[in-house]
Structures are given as structure tokens and as C-alpha cells.
Amino acid sequence: MKNNQENNNLDEKGNDDLELGAVIKNEIEFYPKVGEWKTEFPVYDHDKCIGCGICVKHCPEGAIKLIKTPKGKKAVADLEWCKGCGICPTVCPTKAIQMRKK
Amino acid sequence: MKNKQIKKAITGGFAVGEAIRQINPDVMAVYPITPQTPIVEYFAQEVADGNAYTEIIPVESEHSAMSACIGSAAAGARSMTASSSQGIMYMMEMLPIASAMRLPIVMAVSTRAISGPLNIHGDHSDAMAMRDFGWIQLFAESVQEAYDNLIIGTKLAEKALLPVAPNMDGFITSHSVENVEIMTDQAVKEFVGEYQPTQTLFDFNEPKTFGAIALPESYFNFRKQVYDAMQEAESKFLEIVSDFEKISGRKYDLVESYQLDDAEKVIVAMGSTCGTIKATVDKLRGRGQKVGLLKIRLFRPWPVEAVYQALKDVEQVFVLDKNLSFGTSQVLAGNVEIALKRPINSVVYGLGGREISEEEVEKIFTGEVRSFLI
Ligand code: SF4
Ligand code: SF4
């Protein structure tokens, strides 16, 4: 039996392969893309971004990564996974991120 | 083979700290609270002196201490903390999470009264408050047992995949100097062994989510999983104490029977008071009275069969609780009644560190004390 969205129907027999401590073995394709939740999304101004990576560490969804560009490392968010929480603009030291209504 | 041991005169707090140093856990989350403080005080000094390589996390509260333990244990680190009283009350939210996540965290407890009124002295109120949260609970009568229980408890936690709280009586045991036999570092390390986590956050090939939601379809099953693990912990405890006897020469069981063979009147108790009761039993036996003591070592899981077997032929059973439940029967008394399926005499004593003397124990045996030794 699995503690995930795909398989939540339990019966007596299901207890034998109950996951230890309700740990979910991540099968990422089964998870709803939290990107659908957002009402706002972040826009990155690559002229201001200095590639410090602070936003990467703070994003609760792990949606941001640094990519190499001719102007150095720049942050980009994967909007399929960005849930629009608005944390990244508050931690960016150069105010390179702004939230926009969807 | 019994290993070489060193005799030392130390307090319960230092003995438990020494056991932790010998185990050398990966992480120790620390927050001071009386009467637990000597454990961490001793241990932190040992780490500062380079005698243990533990990562000490000086957290900002007990809630964070338990949270840090949960995080580090989920990451696969052998994790410990120590606490008492209000500290345990403050981390209460995290305690059942630790057990439901099946994390073998060890929390050394110096038991203490809970507020209010504010009181820093020893009773079992804090330990009793966490009794139904899936934590294995051991009680120690002496400094020696406090030291041994920490080592046994660490191994038990990892075998049962449940958190363990080895309890000693605040001040009476935690701050009193007694003679203790300390095993060699090597013997302790070999006994507990290298920690092998069953599943970890750092398994990048098989990423996992720890502490996720479980809806009505599965929540019940996961709670039942903890219940089953608790039931199985009793036999695991017995295996471990038999291995422990081989290296230490000290024999432990779920309960300890003292002068029970032909006893007509028996007191059931936990913790340091058992010493006072043993002395009283000796005195009364000298006068030809058939009295005895049943000491509970493993309190959770409750060793229902062992308690029944020890007490089934005893005429009068007196159960001593160092905790007061309001509006119902007392915890230990209720548990003994479940085992015996007949009424017993329940006595509450020692709240907020109130002392109990041999004379008073005698009065319990004669039935002069009813309900409250106040
Ligand atoms: S808004 Fe929140 S979820 Fe989206 S990229 Fe920023 S931090 Fe991540
Ligand atoms: S925090 Fe701001 S400056 Fe730093 S990488 Fe992210 S967007 Fe760029």
C-alpha cells in the first residue's frame, strides 16, 4: 500500500506492504503539478539578477535554478512547479524578481 | 564474556552524559531545563574536549530540539536529546510525529513535576503525559540503571524503529552521586553498533517524502503500524537485555520481582522509590511479614503478561503513582488493574518532589495510607 495520491484504497491485505513511517516513495509523475495553484507568478529581470542563488535555496518547491547565459548565471523558475508563494522576491538582494497576476 | 568495567562515583546526569559520549551519536539537540541540564552540561564538555564527535545543535526551544532530532533522524543520523517537565510539554506536538515517522530518537528524561504551580522537583507527571505517544519508556531506580537504560534504549530504539525515553527521577537520581560501573567505550560502541538507517532523506536514487499527510484511507493504518511496533518492542527489549547481561553482568527484565515468591502484600512502583521500598521490605521481612515489591522497568509498552504472572497469586496489591490524573484512576494503578483484572489499592505519592520515607512505605503496606500519601 502506498501513501500517495495514486493508490489510497486500503484493505486488510494492504497493511503488509504499508510503507514504514508513512514515508512516500516519490513517483513524481503521480503528483499534481503545484504550478496550477498559483494566482501570481515571478518574473525575473536578468539585468538585475547577479546569480547569487539565494532564491534557489529559498524556493519551497525547488522550482528555481541558475542557468548559464552570456551575461553570467541567471535565475529562472519552472512555472509548472512554481506555486506562486512569493518568497523569492522577498529574499532577492537586488530586487530582480517581481510577482505578476496570472 | 563480561568486559572490564570502571567503578566511578558520579551523578545520574553525568552517568547518562557519559553513556551518550560513549555512544557518540551523530546529532544531539540541546536545550537546558532543570533537572536534565547536567546530562547536556557533561556531554557538551566532552564534545568540547574532543571526546565525542557529535554535532551539537543548540536550539532555541524544546519544540525545536525534537524537531531537529526528527529532521536529523530522517536524514539518517543517530539523534538524541534530553529534557524534563515543561520542556517535554513544549515539545509535545513533535513527540507522536517522531514515533509515527518510526524514527529511533533517544531522549534522556530526568522526570519532573509539571506546572502549575511551578515546581522543579521530581515526580513522574512529565513522563506520564507522553505515555500514549508511541514512545518506549524505561524507568531507572538507580544511577547504574539510568546509565544502562540509555545504552539499552539506544539499541532498542533502532531495533524497534521507535523513539525511546529512558527516564530517571529528577534530582533524586539525576543529581545524586552513586557508585556506578562504567563499561569501556569499546564495549558500549560494539554493543550499540554502527547505526544503519532503514530509509533516509539522503537517498538520492530513491527520493522520498517524510512526514507527509495521510488521509482517512491510510491514517488509521499508519497509527496501527506504530501500535504493532510497540507490541513487538517487548520481545526486542528482552533480546537486548540478555545480550547486555553478557557484556555487563547485569541482568534486567521487563519488571523486577523483589521478595515476591511467597508475598501476600506487594507494592508496585517505578523509579528511585523502589530503593526505599526494598529497604522497607527487608525490614518487614525481618519481622516475618510477607511483603514484596514489583518494580516496573519497561513501562511502555506495558508488560501486561509479566505483571500478571508476578502478581496473580498476591492477595493485596498496592500501586504507587508519582503522578496525579484528575477525574479518573491513576495511570500505573489502571495499568496494573488491566493486567490483573481485579481491583487494587491505588496510592499517589511524592508529587512535586515530596519525600517518601520507610515509615510511610510501611503505612502503605498496613493499609493506613489510602489513596494519597500527602
Ligand atoms: S514564487 Fe515561490 S514557488 Fe514560485 S519560484 Fe518563487 S519561491 Fe518558488
Ligand atoms: S536571489 Fe535575485 S539576484 Fe540572486 S539569483 Fe535569485 S534572482 Fe538572481
Which tens digit of pLDDT belongs to each residue from B266-306? Answer: 999 999 999 999 999 999 999 999 999 999 999 999 999 99
Q: What pLDDT score was predicted for residue B204?
A: 87
Say yes or no to pLDDT of A3 above 80.
Answer: no
Residue B183 sits in the same domain as residue B268:
no
Q: What pLDDT score was predicted for residue A24?
A: 81
B333: amino acid identity, one letter: A
Residue ranges of domains in chain A:
1-102
Element (H, E) at A54: helix A54-58
Are A9 and B215 within 8 A, CB to CB?
no
B14 band by pLDDT with thresholds 50, 70 and 90: very high
- Domain holding B213: CATH number? 3.40.50.970
Cα(B233)–Cα(B248) distance, rounded to whole angstroms? Answer: 22
Element (H, E) at B256: strand B255-258
Say yes or no to pLDDT of A28 above 70.
Answer: no
Cis peptide before A60 (omega within 30 of 0): no
Of B31-40, B70-79, B145-154, B207-216, give the lowest mean pLDDT range.
Answer: B207-216
Residue B26 sits in the same domain as residue B155:
yes
CA distance B196 to chain A (A): 15
Mean pLDDT of B156-167: 98
Question: Looking at B214, B231, B248, which one is the last position of a domain?
Answer: B248
Say yes or no to pLDDT of A6 above 50.
Answer: no
Mean pLDDT of B168-175: 98
Ligand 1 site residues, Cβ closer than 6 angstroms:
A 42, 59, 61, 63-64, 77, 82-88
Mean pLDDT of B46-74: 97
Q: What pLDDT score was predicted for residue A1?
A: 43
Question: Looking at B248, B277, B292, which one is the last position of a domain?
Answer: B248
Q: What pLDDT score was predicted for residue A7?
A: 44
Mean pLDDT of B21-41: 97
Residue B234 sits in the same domain as residue B320:
no
Burial B98-112 (b: 16+ CB within 10 A, else e): bbbbbbbbbbbbbbb
Q: What pLDDT score was predicted for residue A80?
A: 92
Say yes or no to pLDDT of B71 above 60.
Answer: yes
If you measure CA to CA, which chain B residue comes closest to A16? B225
**HSE-up of B124 (CA within 13 Å, CB side)?**
29
Mean pLDDT of B258-262: 97
Residue B294 sits in the same domain as residue B201:
no
Interface predicted TM-score (ipTM) = 0.76
Mean pLDDT of B223-252: 97
Q: What pLDDT score was predicted for residue B144?
A: 98
Of A25-34, B29-38, B137-146, B247-256, give the lowest mean pLDDT range.
Answer: A25-34
Mean pLDDT of B165-193: 97
- Are the C-beta atoms of residues B23 and B39 closer than 8 Å to each other? no
Closest residue by Cα to atom 8, ligand 1, is: A59
Whether B205 and chain A come into contact, CB under 8 Å, resolves to: no
Q: Chain A partners of B208 at a C-beta cutoff of 8 Å? A: 23-26
Range of the domain at B158: 5-248
Residue B229 sits in the same domain as residue B260:
no
DSSP B127-150: HHHTTTSS-EEEE-SSHHHHHHHH
Cα(B8)–Cα(B224) distance, rounded to whole angstroms? Answer: 44
Residue B184 sits in the same domain as residue B316:
no
Q: For chain B, how many structural domains are there in total?
A: 2
- Tell me, using a 6 A CB cutoff, whether residue A69 lines ligand 2: no
Find, among B209, B229, B196, the residue nearest to B301 by Cα: B229
Q: What pLDDT score was predicted for residue B359?
A: 97
B1 band by pLDDT with thresholds 50, 70 and 90: low
Residue B196 sits in the same domain as residue B323:
no
Residue B193 sits in the same domain as residue B46:
yes
Of A17-26, B19-28, B189-198, B361-370, give the lowest mean pLDDT range.
Answer: A17-26
Say yes or no to pLDDT of A9 above 80.
Answer: no
List all residues of chain A from 24 to 83 with a beta carbon under 8 Å from chain B.
24-26
Q: What pLDDT score was predicted for residue B2?
A: 66
If you measure CA to CA, which chain A residue comes closest to B103? A21
Residue B365 sits in the same domain as residue B344:
yes
- Are the C-beta atoms of residues B144 and B181 closer than 8 Å to each other? yes
Question: Looking at B206, B224, B248, which one is the last position of a domain?
Answer: B248
Cα(B278)–Cα(B77) distance, rounded to whole angstroms? Answer: 40
pTM summary value: 0.87
Right CATH for A1-102 from 1.20.120.1200, 2.40.50.1020, 3.30.70.20, 1.20.950.20:
3.30.70.20
Q: Chain A partners of B207 at a C-beta cutoff of 8 Å? A: 26
Cβ neighbours, 10 Å, residue A17:
8
Whether A15 and chain B come into contact, CB under 8 Å, resolves to: yes
- Are the C-beta atoms of residues B301 and B131 closer than 8 Å to each other? no
Cα(B335)–Cα(B320) distance, rounded to whole angstroms? Answer: 12
A11 band by pLDDT with thresholds 50, 70 and 90: very low
Q: Tell me, in angstroms, the distance from the centre of ligand 2 to residue A83's CA.
A: 18
Q: Chain B partners of A11 at a C-beta cutoff of 8 Å? A: none
Cα(B81)–Cα(B77) distance, rounded to whole angstroms? Answer: 13
Q: What pLDDT score was predicted for residue A25?
A: 79
- Averaged pLDDT score across all residues of chain B: 96
Instruction: Give the dihedral of Cα atoms B81, B100, B88, B37; nearest 10 deg.
Output: -10
- Tell me, using a 6 A CB cutoff, whether residue A84 lines ligand 2: no
Q: Chain B partners of A22 at a C-beta cutoff of 8 Å? A: 100-101, 211-212, 214, 218, 222
Say yes or no to pLDDT of A81 above 50.
Answer: yes
Find, among B105, B244, B242, B137, the residue nearest to B181 by Cα: B244
Are A15 and B224 within 8 A, CB to CB?
yes
- Domain holding B262: CATH number? 3.40.50.920
Cα(B360)–Cα(B45) distance, rounded to whole angstroms? Answer: 41
Q: In the beta sheet, which residues pair with residue A100?
A: A41
Residue B280 sits in the same domain as residue B199:
no
Q: What pLDDT score was predicted for residue A19?
A: 87
A16 band by pLDDT with thresholds 50, 70 and 90: low
Q: B73-126, pLDDT tens digit by residue?
A: 999 999 999 999 999 999 999 999 999 999 999 999 999 999 999 999 999 999
Q: In the beta sheet, which residues pair with residue B177?
A: B11
Q: What pLDDT score was predicted for residue A95?
A: 97
Find, among B299, B370, B373, B292, the residue nearest to B336 by Cα: B299
